[in-house]
Amino acid sequence: MNLFILPGPPDANTFSYTYRVVIEQTKYKIHFLYNSRQDSWSIDLLTILDEILITSIKLRMGIDLLQQFHHIEEVPDVSLIVYNGSSKEDPNADNFGKSTFLGYIGTS
């Protein structure tokens, strides 16, 4: 098993964006959205054809963000996690893409 880090925001002033990613040989889109009231990030997971698989997953430290969705056939069977080295701080406007990242634990 390996940790694969996904791209962060393209720049410090981008608070909503979508990346196409390949997770375990399957293409997905991940839409990132910043909530200024909560100073937090959430994601939507979509198929490459823009079919929504999961919506509004709040990025939180210390949990597998996909664990409760593994029963959905199209959801990748990986652990989607927030990575911040030794810090326990959830992603916010200041740290996401700089010291805090979204990643997954998988085989490829």
**pLDDT per residue of the chain (108 residues) written in tens, 0 to 9:** 889 999 889 888 899 999 999 999 999 999 999 999 999 999 999 999 999 999 999 999 989 999 999 999 999 999 999 988 777 889 999 999 989 999 999 876
In the chain, how many domains are there?
A: 1
What's the whole-model pTM score? Answer: 0.91
Q: Which domain holds residue 39?
A: 2-106
pLDDT at 14: 92
Average pLDDT, the chain: 93
Output the DSSP codes for the chain.
Answer: -EEEEPP--SSTT--EEEEEEEETTEEEEEEEEEETTTTEEEEEEEETT--EEEEEEE--TTS-TTGGGTTSTTS-SSEEEEE-TT--PPP-TTTBTTTBEEEEEE--
